[in-house]
Structure 1
């Protein structure tokens, strides 16, 4: 007889404590590791063919940097930022590092993160990406997944936390898919001109995985497949 090892989902979270943010980073690492070859294949079509390996290495380093009892959400986010900046090559390291660092600053006074605080943090992170990458919506970058996620969070600040985060993850996935017909205007993909059309942006794809990881943690479904 086969014994099931499936874990029973826990109750949805209503806020994120430091340990929950750490769980998010661990889950993001797991999903990116599972999908590393897919991310690299996307990057092979319009980039340097290293996005999956780079993100896997960076998030693995971020997980290794986590303490047993993290001090605060901001501390976890800052540790993650430093790991990504130091370990992820190409443009993704500085961009994701800046995103998490700006999130950390926005959360500096919060012991827990609710929907409103998460909106502020994601908005700050996106601002960092815009400043660092000099990009905007429609340029076929990770912003095309982050912006829809932010708008979904904003639309549900009065609702259940888990519902808002799940809606944001769905919006990020839709934003990822919407990059396929776009013409790349930033990064190495922009060098391809019209040949960049018909390919999903790898940064948008990794953003969708990171948002799905957060939704998994918040909904208590971290034992489930992505």
Structure 2
């Protein structure tokens, strides 16, 4: 499958809409573990991205430049720790597709593996710390393995998103070891991590988006 620069921008616009829909849910999850503002923070970041998509990036055809601008824009709009993490993810993804106006199966796999690994490197968290890495590490491990075996992006990505979902759900049973929520100790058990949840939603939004594009054809 191929994804054009226009489709990449359309996908980012779908994230903007999804975050608005899920904003209250993400804040509700965060109230159990942190400041209760994760949904608002994500919304601020993605509204800033939306502004760029509608103006500066409206005619842009370079997939790397689009992803790079999305990362930098999110970073300048969001002060909290999630800003540098997503910025790193989208900027690493951009490096993987430098100069491309269209991404094929191989490009898409490399983009998402670079995205997830970039966040893992930047965040210095491990699986079991109750963070977005509980979603992203099982995702990139699965995507690398499945894509190496099949060379088909959509089936590999579908399986990887299933692994991401299991990782997200596993955070309910984990004691938080990172960030503000780590102060809660055992009391953090039973609450699903908001960062792990928004990371999963970004991946599942892409899955639904590309499935929709395939059906349109």
* TM-score, normalization by structure 2: 0.88
Q: CA deviation at 1:152?
A: 3.0
Which of 22, 43, 50 matches 2:9? 22
The aligned counterpart of 1:165 is 157
The aligned counterpart of 1:72 is 62
Counterpart Cα distance in 2 of 1:94 and 1:164: 27
The aligned counterpart of 2:186 is 194
- Secondary structure of the residue aligned to 2:173 is coil
Q: How many residues align?
A: 209
The aligned counterpart of 2:34 is 47
- Secondary structure of the residue aligned to 2:201 is helix
Does 1:59 pair with 2:28? no
Counterpart Cα distance in 2 of 1:144 and 1:115: 25
Counterpart Cα distance in 2 of 1:118 and 1:185: 32
Does 1:88 pair with 2:75? no
Q: Which has the higher contact order (CA 8 A, sep 6+)?
A: 1
Counterpart Cα distance in 2 of 1:112 and 1:172: 26
- Secondary structure of the residue aligned to 2:191 is coil
The aligned counterpart of 1:10 is none
Counterpart Cα distance in 2 of 1:147 and 1:114: 23
Which of 171, 174, 179 matches 1:182? 174
4+ residue runs of structure 1 moved beyond 3 angstroms? none
Tell whether the 8 Å contact from 2:138 to 2:160 is kept in structure 1 after alignment: yes
Structure 2 gaps of 5+ residues are none
Q: CA deviation at 1:164?
A: 2.6
1:81-111: CA deviation from partner (whole Å, max 9, x where unpaired): 0121011231111111111111111221433
Counterpart Cα distance in 1 of 2:105 and 2:177: 32
Counterpart Cα distance in 2 of 1:28 and 1:79: 15
Tell whether the 8 Å contact from 1:17 to 1:72 is kept in structure 2 after alignment: no
1:41-64: CA deviation from partner (whole Å, max 9, x where unpaired): 111111111110110111121122
Tell whether the 8 Å contact from 1:15 to 1:161 is kept in structure 2 after alignment: no
Counterpart Cα distance in 2 of 1:148 and 1:115: 20
Q: CA deviation at 1:34?
A: 0.5
